[in-house]
Structure 1
């Protein structure tokens, strides 16, 4: 199985992270500062993990395609749930829509740990 999906998805995700960051800086006008900080956290994690997703195949190497796929999947799910929840909370100004953030955070941590377990 090819690992090109991680490069493509990471690139698209990185582009989206820049766009959402620009929206947060110029378009989002939250009524409370805490919502702006929540949005900023989601955006920062989104961009950082997009970069890591692009780098995952190189980190894992050609011998560890399965681990690269597992790590990439964990990072992708984590970004969607964590950053998506942060964005939703900030835009709606309703903390109840952010219930997926902890699951996303755990998926991101698992993605990092899976990369730490790669044997080259």
Structure 2
């Protein structure tokens, strides 16, 4: 599905930009602890941007798979929840936002499970 290719590319671009911003714009402005939190958000955003590329590729092989569509939206939602909450947490220091991060992690896990199911069904 082209949409997941586009979302993957946008998220990869954002991860590069946010990584550079963290390294150059936030250094010395937030604590080392929160800079590490920011870096974790960037890492997971990039990993899952690549995951969106995988989903786009698989969608071309299995165009009728609603599970791949679910995997794509779940992975994108995971990026927003996981990485987004870490970005806001690291710049605001509002610790309650840390409670949102695991929801993004669960979304990531679900999206990968959906991909496993699609692959297993195709054997």
TM over 0.5: yes
Q: What RMSD, in angstroms, separates the aligned Cα atoms of the two structures? A: 1.5
Pairing 1:69–2:66 present:
no
Normalising by structure 2, report the TM-score: 0.88
In structure 2, what is the Cα distance between the partners aligned to 1:38 and 1:31? 10
Q: Which residue of 2 aligns with 1:52?
A: 51
In structure 2, what is the Cα distance between the partners aligned to 1:5 and 1:87? 24
- C-alpha displacement at 1:64, in angstroms? 4.5
- C-alpha displacement at 1:105, in angstroms? 0.7
Unaligned runs of 5+ in 2: none
Q: Which residue of 1 aligns with 2:97?
A: 97
Normalising by structure 1, report the TM-score: 0.90
Contact 2:30-2:90 within 8 A present in 1 as well? no
In structure 2, what is the Cα distance between the partners aligned to 1:62 and 1:106? 24
Q: Deviations over 1:25-62 (max 9, x none)?
A: 11013442210111000000000100110111323522
How do residues 12-51 of structure 1 correspond to structure 2 at under 5 angstroms?
12-29=10-27, 30-51=29-50
In structure 2, what is the Cα distance between the partners aligned to 1:70 and 1:83? 19
Contact 1:57-1:65 within 8 A present in 2 as well? no
In structure 2, what is the Cα distance between the partners aligned to 1:64 and 1:110? 19
Aligned length: 118
Q: Which of 6, 9, 12 is equivalent to 1:8?
A: 6
